[in-house]
Amino acid sequence: MSKPDLHFNSLTIHGGQKPDPSTGAVMQPIFQTSTFAQAAPGEHQGYEYARSKNPTRSALEKSIASLEAAAHGLAFGSGLAAIDAVLKLLKPGDEVIASNDLYGGTYRLFTSTFKQFGIKFQFVDLGEDGALKGALNSDSKMLWIESPTNPMMNIVDIAAVAKEAKESGLVVVVDNTFASPYLQQPLNLGADIVMHSATKYLAGHSDVVLGLLATNSEVLAGRLAFIQNSSGAICGPMDAFLCLRGIKTLHLRMQRHCENGRALAEYLKEHPEVSAVYWPGFKNHPGHNVASAQMRDFGGMLSFRLKQDTKEEAVRFLRKLRVFTLAESLGGVESLAGHPASMTHASLPPEERAQLGISEGLIRLSVGVEDIRDLIADVSQALDNLKS
């Protein structure tokens, strides 16, 4: 019996999922096998060798497709492996136009690995009027968007830039890691491919590294599946299972991440030791109107600047935290704090960091789903004790 059309909060649980036909198992089984029996050469049940296809991975691929309102999903061993597959759609001489404040690992993959194969890159401020038009040329083949960006929480008008890029024939890709499909569905805004580091909100429990792609294009899906199989950067069945299990509570977690993010942003804004808070839910955030239109809510990521804008002050603050953990990554149930200038963005030249607003006293928070009273108390005691 086919399922009725479901709402997002039901698709997280049921999207692309059905009880295992051989046993009735309600949860997707972990098919820990590399190969599948054939009755005669080429006569099989759709699975031959697990690099090409594995039923646990297939279930996850159907799940992300349903959450991103896509026809096709693909799963990889990490977010960067998924990005690597997308870049392999290009050939030498082709150019990618990308947001100028990309995730550091994406920037490194572009400029250290793909540059040496003759792919060209231009980094522009996609929030600036006319920036994309000024960058477009006959070699431009792909537009790479992040919104909100890391760690300054800048917002790109996805529908507007996607429209402009597609008029020039570019493939439009959105890294939707920070928002998750609960908050934002880029394919519905005109993107061709949506990419996730599922390591973050989708899996949501800081226990797996995994990447996902989704698209409505038959042609792009076919080429990406070919690259997935021929390059082989797939995820294992256990990791696919963990991600599927995490996705079942995505809507519940995101709702709480958003509530806690809002409460903490508002608390920090009033604190005398804080000079600025970057969170798109504030009416005076430059991307607020676009974020309100293209996102369901404003998420659990925020950054703030300490009044005394130095590394020493940032380290003093981070050392005093007791509930927030100082760590790379984001999007898990537990709250994390980071120092972008020395952690995620350490590889950027200092002048570029300064230009983006990533000063030494900037702190990034991934607000988790704990009791908000404990999170505010933790940040409060750390800020209040900075002088001692």
Ligand X SMILES: *Cc1c(COP(=O)(O)O)cnc(C)c1O
Residues with active-site annotation: 51, 103, 175, 200
Query: Sign (positive/negative) of CA torsion 47, 52, 55, 58?
Result: negative
Q: Minimum CB separation from ligand X for residue 200, in Å?
A: 6
| Residue 177 found at the interface with ligand X (CB under 6 A) | yes
| Residue 360 found at the interface with ligand X (CB under 6 A) | no
Q: Minimum CB separation from ligand X for residue 103, in Å?
A: 4
Q: Minimum CB separation from ligand X for residue 263, in Å?
A: 23
| Residue 145 found at the interface with ligand X (CB under 6 A) | no
Q: Minimum CB separation from ligand X for residue 335, in Å?
A: 16
CA distance 177 to 157: 16
Q: Which stretch binds ligand X (CB under 6 A): 72-80, 227-235, 258-266, 305-313?
A: 72-80
| Residue 184 found at the interface with ligand X (CB under 6 A) | no
Strand ranges of the sheet holding 171-175, from the earlier edge strand across to the other edge: 72-76, 211-215, 193-197, 171-175, 140-146, 95-99, 120-124
Q: Which of 209, 243, 306, 369 binds ligand X (CB under 6 A)?
A: 209
| Residue 236 found at the interface with ligand X (CB under 6 A) | no
Q: Which stretch binds ligand X (CB under 6 A): 98-106, 255-263, 281-289, 363-371?
A: 98-106
CA distance 74 to 226: 11
Give the Å distances, CA to CA, from 24 to 41, 217, 289.
Answer: 29, 33, 47
For the chain, what percentages of helix, strand and coil (3-state, to nearest 5) are there?
40, 15, 45
CA distance 144 to 142: 7
* SS3 label, residue 99: strand
| Residue 181 found at the interface with ligand X (CB under 6 A) | no
| Residue 78 found at the interface with ligand X (CB under 6 A) | yes
339: closest CA among 367, 306, 368, 315?
315
Binding site residues, ligand X, CB under 6 A: 78-80, 103, 105-106, 146, 150, 175, 177-178, 197, 199-200, 209, 211
